[in-house]
Structure 1
């Protein structure tokens, strides 16, 4: 899959398919995170149908929550977050909430006061202090240096603290009493060592614009706590986390949590940039979806949330943006499309769904057979993806009878078949003596031998020189092993003529010759003598053989 950002949508059907409610308007929250609108909570990106009016909205991205009001009218809206700008606008907070509409805060001009005349931290015992936050325990604020150097230390009541400023380390322990609308403290800071004193962590707080008002645990030190400033916070499980807020008139208000084990923490808030992080704008387009075949199931998601489902064809009125659409139909492969819908324009998608292949798994007994389906072959066991239809599936294996079966496959169906192959019959021929030539079914072998044949009846001929030919008929069935044992008989010797018969034969020849010679008037006597001698030689030769 190609990696893409899954920006999805909700919409209302157009053109009479599904009319939008007259009292609601689609609002597309186009970012990755959480959204809360009134009592509606969901995962973005998502489109929510909101009634007309002002909606309190919370948008959460990572560890930051943005709070704003969205005015919903009759036109679709798109709510976007510039996440890159958001990351550059805040720093150092464990979590933070940004109130984009801001809050009423005092300005540095409204809290001008003369400098406090107090001893400097680096000069001897003692410190200059003022009231501090009252939670989680009452605290006192120590001014490290007079005249708004803006570096402070918070001392919680009853907690020993060690702090260092300007290279000077002191141990502090105070106890604060509150009552009658006032407070008083006893104790202070000195060079005297206090066992189990808690170290303080310097937290630097800056902002853009500068001179923004700072609150710590909901408390602001009049005339002092403005950016840039540094405050040393004792971080213990009982005291932390601390809440630090930064605000300025006409800018967003940031309230964040500080809970760090670092030796120094830097908090930063660009209030000017935060005012541009969220963009709310109107805009809508029309998306038309056609499919072949029609009546495909269409689904539209926002993030992981399904926000629309219907069947093609449809027309949708959507806020402008990037959407993902899925189409499916039983027996067909699904389609997922990303589409951009511009404002005040129409986009049409024409989707063609392809038939799903069927899967056929073939096994044979025994395995290793060649399976053939049309022009496609495989060796069992095997699996083939085929288009829907009816197929003749055949399997063959040497020395086995082929087997076949007709199989019907529906689109997307998965089917398994098994073909059992039967061994071809085997004829085993034995002869006495061995070495005879056997001819059967067009095959020849020399005994003893085996011949594999198809089932049926066969004429078997057995021949060997010097022996009479033997012929027999056998019937073979599938899977049979038939044994034939043939005893060959020797051929009989030829009978030899006696000497008397030989002389009679010679005499007959002479008479014939004499008769011929008389008829022809030719003297054949010399030739006759020679011929008679040759005849006698032949006769005796046969007798010796």
Structure 2
């Protein structure tokens, strides 16, 4: 039995992984029962806090415990894809454990041993606990321990089929891990893949030029400071980390450097003058303008003042000032007109307003009024939701139609007085 059990050693070779990194569980109950739990461990790691190392030829013991009575099935799973049945086996068929019972394989007085063999790598033991017995004959031959399948994915699919008839409250799994032999030393370097937009940027790592982008560099593990430089773009500085055996990719975008500018400060006396830079109106004084370096024509315009014109040169990073005293334009003297002899003033005769006739619509301040002038010297208006007849009570200098409540006066303009208050005025046709 020693040779059969020696295949527990597995071969997860040269992946550069830390020894505490463990693979994904083979088959996991998504809703495990709260009362049924199974725990499996190896003798060098009863607390399951690390990946213990077993040298080739060294014996190993596997222990398992359940919290409720259950049937337990144990499998050795090699990274090479080889699977071995551990429990039940040709020497131990009885795989039913009571609640809290701890059973170790091989136990005291057993007729077989488990011995770790090569190749070197990480291995695991899978435990499946079920309230009902499972038929695993399609997975392993119990008499020889040899599996009828190969590969972790095939084992996961096969076990999923075996437990699928069971309620999720009737089964649960656990795994234990160990190292067979010694793993190759972990890598001490990592890879940096560096790209920039635009490319061909000079790259400095910790102040040392290492090339231009795009770049692929092998660097010792650690923390670094990167600076990218390219003409016409702002320098870009970032920090990054290199992890052993891993690739760090940086895709960085450079920001174009804005063109240099200068400041043009324009003021005038009096203020409020319109400022034109070239042929563009830029605002009114006082005014601060940010301009690209160059020479500009400037005009200041204000009503009543002469136009001020000048040419200025704006320099990058500097302020150019214009202070203009605007000259007022004197108004022309009024034209001299010949004095006309004064004509004697004739007395003004009062003008009798013409009496309107028919119906007229007046637009007033406060609303619209329709007035019908009747042939019997009366006017009829519609106001306050009713018609009202007003007799003519005065003809000069304004026609006045009135009764005890309403008064309609019409001259050059008209107005309506209701109950002593003017309600419509500036009325005209």
Q: So what's the TM-score if we normalise by structure 1?
A: 0.26
**Bigger share in helix:** 1
Structure ID, larger Rg? 1
**Bigger share in strand:** 1
